Amino acid sequence: MTQKNRLQSGGRIDRSKPLTFTYNGKQYKGYQGDTLASAMLANGIDVIGRSFKYSRPRGIIAAGAEEPNAIMQLGATEATQVPNVRATQQELFNGLVSGATNGWPSVDTDVMGVLGKVGGNMMPPGFYYKTFMYPQSMWDTYESIIRKAAGLGRSPLENDPDMYDKVNQHCDVLVVGAGPAGLAAALTAARSGARVIIADEQSEFGGSLLSSKETLNGAPASEWVSFVVDELRGYDDVMMLPRSTVNGYHDHNFLTIHERRTDHIADRAPDGQVRQRMHRVRAKWVVLATGAHERPLVFANNDVPGCMVANAVSTYITRYGVVPGNDLVLMTTNDSGYQAALDWHDAGRRVAAVVDTRKNPSGDRVDAARKRGLNLITGSAVIEVQGSKRVSGVSVAPISADGKSVAGSVTKISADTVASSGGWSPVIHLSCHTGSRPVWNEEVVGFLPGPTVQKQLTAGAINGSYSTSKALAEGQQAALDAIAALGMKAAEVVLPQAVEVNEGQPMTLFHIPHLKSTAKAPKQFVDYQNDVTAAGIELACREGYESIEHVKRYTAMGFGTDQGKLGNINGMAVAASALNKTIPETGTTIFRPNYTPVTFGAIAGRDCGELFDPKRYTAMHKWHVENGAKFEDVGQWKRPWYFPKAGESMQDALNRECKATRESVGILDASTLGKIDIQGKDAREFLGRVYTNAWAKLAVGKCRYGLMCGEDGMVFDDGVTSCLGENHFVMTTTSGGAARVYEWLELYHQTEWPEMEVYFNTVTDHWATMTISGPNSRKLLQELTDYDVSKENLGFMDWREMQVAGVPARVFRISFTGELSFEINVQANYGLHVWEKLFEHGAKYNLTPYGTETMHILRAEKGFIIAGQDTDGSVHPYDLGMGWCVSPNKPFSFIGKRGMAREDCVRPNRKQLVGLKTLDPNVVLPEGAQGVLDPNAPIPMPMVGHITSSYWSANLGRSIAMGFVKGGLDKMGEKVFYPLADGRVIEAEICSPIFLDPKGERQNV
């Protein structure tokens, strides 16, 4: 297909580099430098989608981020699918594959067309609002209709093969936008020695100058752009980011920039390159030079393909060498709109009419139009467009001076393109992100950035300063202000001379009148993407939605990816008129991040796959992997869960591990336990205050179990703490609780008891810890040490320093299994050495490695709790039957003492931890099962507590469980019933949680 709308020369495209692209399965040609939109227009593609509610054919309206219609699905393969890409922002590359987001299977002959009308009728304005209010049961129906019709694109079904990342940046001045204002600001700041980042969403810097024929210093403006870009490139401390959208302006001058690094090159990023990068910028000062978007006018059938924003028409002609039609009608309320007609005419195509809503326009561009002999119709407006898939003509009529009514007879003019300009809307989105309310400015006929708490400056069109000379001057001034605030010395920058253009007064007009009332006239679109019409807004106002925020939610105006870039001001004007208020009285909705959609890839960065979350390993991890361990996540730790042998089920492995430990010796990697070194003359007293039990008399060389409670008296961690020296202790914590306990100690030391002489240091990672447990553990240990580890020399709850396998070690005789047990701690760099030596000597004892699951079973056989499994923040030590571990008579109070004495904590019938034996010993209760005393009670049954731990005990040949029962400690021998979801009711008897060796004879040997 030929590029029928392509000019022979002109523009910033490279005609020597033709590119092929695919749209909806058909191949087309474009050139290097095109956007997808300009290439589509060059090829005469009119319809690029169907509208959200009414399924009306839609065409390209704009040329930048404000484009509401040309939202494409991109991607040559399933894995590279990208939804919701604006064709106006997507640079063309060879082999680009695109499709319409909506209107499947064909936007031209849409089977949804008929249905769409039905859908449209089903979705009057207020659909979203009413959906939320009406019965939930209808939501499924509504949702499927909305989703089908919405054209929200689709995400890929395969993994994205590309790489995305995040980079942290810092600068003195972040300049947002590289048009004349931004470039002047960046140049001034850079020359003054500031660290500058300048970002622009377009492929090259220059902003409005790229699509303008104006001159600077008498030369094409692009020459000055090149000069500035070259100079900026020479500074080490200047970072230039084209194809980078500043999407969010957050607190403390933290901004996020979405850089598209390879989206313009190919469907996939070249090997080793990052496709998109999120810059996380902390800027001392921000200069917003974000420009302005031209407002289209609201008139009947203004969405027929061929209706465009005037400036976009200029941009396609000037920058891309594309005239998007043959016969143009321009409607404008101001002088700047004329440029489209001038450029159209100069490109050699016919301008059917220039319709100016003003009676007596005057100005340089008006004169230029007259000089070219264009058909100028003043005091009139295009009140309606004819055509369906492309404009075929327009109805023009005189309008009243206030623009509110049609004031004469209608003339029909044939044309295929209608450009409209209702003036400009400053791009204040980023300023609004900071919570700043915009302020209406009569002169500018638009909202300007309001007062801000951020270190933010603005320059150029965002301030309503639309002339190039003003933009340049304001850009420079913003940089000078920033430089002064930074305490730096400003360097001189001589700004280029721009040609001043005389402009007449614009007319304040948004909504073009029609012969019929708004409700009866053909649809007049305000927000194209969300299919919001002027009639819809009027209806919302009639239904009583007077706040602009309510109007927005009722109509969906400015929702979604569009964020009201083209439509918001027009919509507010329509609402204001309907409510008989001024625009400032009506107010405005504000914008939230992100300015344009950001891909999930860029948000996730490298925090995915293997790097999603840190995995923590012990010094013996390699051995565990080599020996077939299955792993369990404990916090971020990867702990061996169990070590299955070939052919073993999990239960088989657990049975074997449990028996081997009780019958001979097992070994557990306990390195993940939190370890905190505590030193200072007040260390002992400090322990007494944070633990519930007494520490005053713990001798050097001794270990003691402790319970830790919050202020509320509820258990939050436990562990063994050992006295290493009179002023020196090492505390152990649960694996997952280490950081929390360490912070807890520091918190109390720093805020409550700073006078205490004590220092805490985390040594969790420093020590490798291996626990050998079982009747043969002493024999095994003795083989590896010269130290006498006999009962007499190393008693239960003692620790000693000794060499184990040639490595200095601290060996603690403590037990979490109820067996004779030794916890060997060595400097972690030697952990694997000692571990392997234990296995060399342990083979004859059938030394059996076990993981967390066997550890859980063995401790449950002994009724030992696991903080976080058998506790949940609502149980105090007495609830656990662990009153023996509370010393209420310590001279100084301890954390939780008062909490556990509260009325509710001492009342009868609290849930208490007990052992539970199922009547059928082969049935293992599910953890979490809720107990009832009467299984025949009507639902909802009164529940008495849940199962916290439940296992098959191979050593006991039956199931065992621990759980809470109301008043359970006084109900020994009584029955509890556990009705399960599958209909079974399991009967269990309350018993002591110590199922095995209640006298502790096995560990005291």
Partner 1 sequence: MSDNVVVEEKPVDTVAIMNQLPGADIVGQSPLHHAELDALSKKGVRKGGVHLRENKLQAHLTLRCNPNNTEQLAAVVRVLDVALPLQPLTSVEKGDVSIRWISPDEWLIVVPGEKAFEVETRFREEMEGHHSLVNSSGGSTILELSGDNVVDMLKKSTPIDLHPKEFPVGKVVSTVFAKSSAIIRRTGDKRFELVIRRSFADYIWLWIQDASREFGLVIEA
Find how far residue 737's CA is from the centre of its chain. Answer: 28
114 binds partner 1 (CB under 8 A): no
Q: How far apart are CA 818 and CA 59, in angstroms?
A: 77
Q: How far apart are CA 278 and CA 257, in angstroms?
A: 6
Q: How far apart are CA 634 and CA 735, in angstroms?
A: 7
| Beta-carbon count within 10 A of 769 CB | 24
Nearer to partner 1, 164 or 952 (CB): 164
761 binds partner 1 (CB under 8 A): yes
Q: How far apart are CA 591 and CA 596, in angstroms?
A: 11
Least separation, in Å, of the C-beta of 868 and partner 1?
19
763 binds partner 1 (CB under 8 A): yes
Least separation, in Å, of the C-beta of 742 and partner 1?
13
Q: What separation in angstroms does the CA of 775 have from each of 665, 781, 862?
A: 6, 11, 16
Q: Are 124 and 142 in contact (CB under 8 A)?
A: no
Half-sphere exposure (Cβ direction) of 791: Cα atoms closer than 13 Å: 7
613 binds partner 1 (CB under 8 A): yes
Going residue by residue from 481 to 520, which x/- string records binding to partner 1, judged by CB under 8 A?
Answer: ----------------------------------------
437 binds partner 1 (CB under 8 A): no
Least separation, in Å, of the C-beta of 53 and partner 1?
43
Nearer to partner 1, 607 or 840 (CB): 607
**Residue 987 parent element (H or E):** strand 985-991
Nearer to partner 1, 30 or 248 (CB): 248
Counting residues that bind partner 1 (by CB under 8 A) gives 62
Q: Are 202 and 210 in contact (CB under 8 A)?
A: yes
Least separation, in Å, of the C-beta of 285 and partner 1?
15
Nearer to partner 1, 582 or 829 (CB): 829
The type of residue at 210 is L
Pairing of strands 930-932, 911-918: unpaired
- Please list every residue from 626 through 645 that binds partner 1, using CB under 8 A: 637
Q: How far apart are CA 729 and CA 732, in angstroms?
A: 10
Of 246, 556, 768, 811, which one interacts with partner 1 (CB under 8 A)? Answer: 768
Q: Which of these ranges, 138-146, 320-328, 754-762, 843-851, lies near partner 1 under the rule CB under 8 A?
A: 754-762
- Please list every residue from 797 through 836 that binds partner 1, using CB under 8 A: 801, 803, 806-808, 810, 826-833
753 binds partner 1 (CB under 8 A): no
Nearer to partner 1, 805 or 988 (CB): 805
- Please list every residue from 211 through 250 that binds partner 1, using CB under 8 A: 237
727 binds partner 1 (CB under 8 A): yes
| Beta-carbon count within 10 A of 55 CB | 26
**Pick from 465, 480, 473, 462: nearest CA to 498:** 473
726 binds partner 1 (CB under 8 A): yes
Q: How far apart are CA 769 and CA 855, in angstroms?
A: 15
Q: At what angle do helices 310-320 and 338-346 cross, to 10 degrees?
A: 30
Nearer to partner 1, 246 or 804 (CB): 804
Q: How far apart are CA 417 and CA 231, in angstroms?
A: 41
Q: Which of these ranges, 542-550, 654-662, 757-765, 988-996, lies near partner 1 under the rule CB under 8 A?
A: 757-765
Q: Which of these ranges, 18-26, 175-183, 677-685, 706-714, lies near partner 1 under the rule CB under 8 A?
A: 677-685
Nearer to partner 1, 779 or 833 (CB): 833
440 binds partner 1 (CB under 8 A): no
- Please list every residue from 154 through 173 that binds partner 1, using CB under 8 A: 163, 165-170
Q: Is the peptide bond before 940 cis (omega within 30 degrees of 0)?
A: yes
CB within 8 Å of 213: residues ≥ 6 apart:
220, 318, 343
274 binds partner 1 (CB under 8 A): yes
Of 680, 736, 926, 967, which one interacts with partner 1 (CB under 8 A)? Answer: 680
Q: How far apart are CA 686 and CA 757, in angstroms?
A: 9
Q: How far apart are CA 298 and CA 312, in angstroms?
A: 17
Find how far residue 776's CA is from the centre of its chain. Answer: 54
**Residue 861 parent element (H or E):** helix 852-861
Of 610, 792, 903, 904, which one interacts with partner 1 (CB under 8 A)? Answer: 610
Q: Are 832 and 619 in contact (CB under 8 A)?
A: yes
Least separation, in Å, of the C-beta of 301 and partner 1?
51
Least separation, in Å, of the C-beta of 606 and partner 1?
6
Nearer to partner 1, 725 or 873 (CB): 725
622 binds partner 1 (CB under 8 A): yes
Q: How far apart are CA 674 and CA 765, in angstroms?
A: 8
764 binds partner 1 (CB under 8 A): yes
Main-chain phi, psi angles of 238, to 5 degrees: -115, 130
From the CA atom positions of the chain, what is the Rg in Å? 38
Main-chain phi, psi angles of 934, to 5 degrees: -125, 105
Of 404, 615, 844, 898, which one interacts with partner 1 (CB under 8 A)? Answer: 615
Q: Which of these ranges, 177-185, 673-681, 859-867, 899-907, lies near partner 1 under the rule CB under 8 A?
A: 673-681
Of 327, 677, 819, 879, which one interacts with partner 1 (CB under 8 A)? Answer: 677
Of 6, 58, 191, 621, which one interacts with partner 1 (CB under 8 A)? Answer: 621
Helix (H) and strand (E) counts in the chain: 24, 49
Q: Are 862 and 669 in contact (CB under 8 A)?
A: no
Least separation, in Å, of the C-beta of 679 and partner 1?
4
- Please list every residue from 833 through 852 that binds partner 1, using CB under 8 A: 833
Least separation, in Å, of the C-beta of 810 and partner 1?
8
Q: How far apart are CA 667 and CA 866, in angstroms?
A: 19
Nearer to partner 1, 37 or 246 (CB): 246
Q: Which of these ranges, 435-443, 447-455, 676-684, 906-914, lies near partner 1 under the rule CB under 8 A?
A: 676-684
Least separation, in Å, of the C-beta of 681 and partner 1?
7
Q: Is the peptide bond before 105 cis (omega within 30 degrees of 0)?
A: yes
Of 142, 617, 748, 753, which one interacts with partner 1 (CB under 8 A)? Answer: 617
| Beta-carbon count within 10 A of 669 CB | 24
Q: What angle do CA 662, 665, 671 make, to 5 degrees?
A: 110
Q: Are 539 and 554 in contact (CB under 8 A)?
A: no
Nearer to partner 1, 314 or 825 (CB): 825
Q: How far apart are CA 844 and CA 836, in angstroms?
A: 14
**Residue 778 parent element (H or E):** helix 777-784
611 binds partner 1 (CB under 8 A): yes
Burial class for 137, CB neighbours closer than 10 Å (0-12, 13-18, 19+): exposed
Least separation, in Å, of the C-beta of 677 and partner 1?
5
Token output for 264: 């313009």
- Please list every residue from 772 through 801 that binds partner 1, using CB under 8 A: 801
* 3-state secondary structure at position 165: strand
Least separation, in Å, of the C-beta of 504 and partner 1?
50
614 binds partner 1 (CB under 8 A): yes
725 binds partner 1 (CB under 8 A): yes
Of 118, 700, 906, 919, which one interacts with partner 1 (CB under 8 A)? Answer: 700
Least separation, in Å, of the C-beta of 596 and partner 1?
23
Least separation, in Å, of the C-beta of 491 and partner 1?
18
The footprint of partner 1 (CB under 8 A) covers 163, 165-170, 195, 237, 272-274, 280, 282, 606-607, 610-611, 613-619, 621-622, 637, 672, 677, 679-681, 700, 724-728, 757, 759, 761, 763-768, 801, 803, 806-808, 810, 826-833
